């Protein structure tokens, strides 16, 4: 059995920056309540490590960032790497909260692009995932921003002029291109601005270039869109099997036995400790199939 460690993988700079901001906020404000508005990144182990520092999280499936602010009445609120709308920012300030912004610089650039186009009396077709916090924050910037989750959404739109097509930063290169082409078919004069971030792009391209792989293992949280996209990219690129796992504990013998070449990568919000542990275990298993699964590594930030 050969284990291929895919490079690059793991934390992107936006995640590193968000984690450092969270740590600095706690360090520099002793005794002040610190609450993260949503998950800092979509990884339960990173969230747990932040909780160990004393950070509280306001997060509930199906509730918007705007509504979640009702749970925070004092102290400091940190906006996550996914970004928030102007409406959320103003609500936080009106409540007297101290705002710390950990929005990824790539998301900030998208917001600036969208905001400027809307102010120029244009409409934006924003390709993104329904319910994802990055999409929520961007679509809420203006009523001229239209969320496009699939080609079917395009057909529901009326005639629009001065159209800009852009996208969530963590989408699949393959899926995004298909939807952009469909948008251009209906709005051939539209401008396009692909906003898939460099970290997402090069991780997906690394998976696309894999050859003769029997199994792709993606280490990442089930809520992580970029992790899901790595798995789907692998399958669409011809890898016969691809799985998404939280940690080494999710590996099973049926999953890996009789595989000659296994590639391992991870989402951009996945701690390196978790991915390294999976690779180390697989290498031990290749030498001795009776090697026992270890407990999940302790994650530090």
* Catalytic center residues: 134
CA distances, 155 to each of 131, 136, 142, 191 (Å) = 21, 21, 21, 18
The first and second tokens of residue 14, run together, are 């936006």
In contact, 221 and 227? CB cutoff 8 Å = yes
As a whole number of angstroms, the distance between CA 39 and CA 267 comes to 15
As a whole number of angstroms, the distance between CA 238 and CA 177 comes to 18
Query: Which contacts of 291-298 are long-range, i.e. CB under 8 A and separated by 24 or more positions?
Result: 293/248, 293/249, 293/251, 294/248, 295/249, 296/45, 296/246, 296/247, 296/248, 296/249, 297/247, 297/248, 297/273, 298/273
In contact, 248 and 296? CB cutoff 8 Å = yes
For residue 94, report the phi and psi dihedrals to the nearest 5 degrees.
-65, -25
């Amino acid at each position: 059995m050969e284990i291929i460690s895919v490079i690059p993988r793991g934390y992107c700079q936006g995640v590193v920056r968000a984690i450092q901001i969270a740590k600095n906020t706690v360090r520099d404000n002793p005794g002040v309540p610190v609450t993260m508005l949503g998950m800092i990144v979509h990884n339960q182990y990173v969230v747990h490590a932040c909780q160990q520092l004393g950070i509280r999280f306001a997060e509930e499936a199906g509730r918007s960032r705007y509504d979640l602010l009702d749970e925070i009445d004092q102290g400091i609120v940190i906006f996550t790497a996914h970004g928030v709308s102007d409406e959320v920012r103003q609500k936080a300030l009106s409540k007297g909260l101290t705002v710390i912004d950990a929005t990824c610089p790539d998301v900030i650039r998208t917001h600036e692009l969208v905001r400027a186009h809307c102010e120029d009396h244009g409409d934006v077709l924003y390709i993104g995932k329904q319910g994802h916090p990055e999409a929520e924050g961007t679509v809420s910037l203006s009523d001229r921003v239209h969320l496009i989750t699939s080609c079917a959404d395009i057909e529901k739109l009326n005639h629009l002029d001065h159209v800009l097509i852009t996208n969530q930063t963590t989408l699949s290169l393959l899926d995004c291109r298909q939807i952009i082409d469909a948008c251009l078919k209906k709005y051939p004069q539209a401008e396009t601005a692909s906003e898939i971030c460099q970290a997402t792009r090069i991780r997906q391209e690394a998976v696309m270039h894999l050859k003769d792989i029997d199994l792709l293992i993606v280490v990442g949280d089930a809520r992580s869109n970029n992790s899901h996209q790595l798995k789907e990219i692998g399958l669409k690129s011809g890898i016969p099997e691809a799985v998404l796992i939280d940690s080494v504990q999710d590996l099973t013998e049926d999953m890996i036995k009789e595989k000659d070449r296994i590639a391992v990568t991870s989402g951009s919000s996945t701690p390196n400790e978790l991915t390294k542990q999976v690779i180390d275990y697989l290498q031990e298993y290749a030498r001795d199939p009776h090697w026992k699964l270890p407990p999940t590594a302790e994650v530090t930030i």
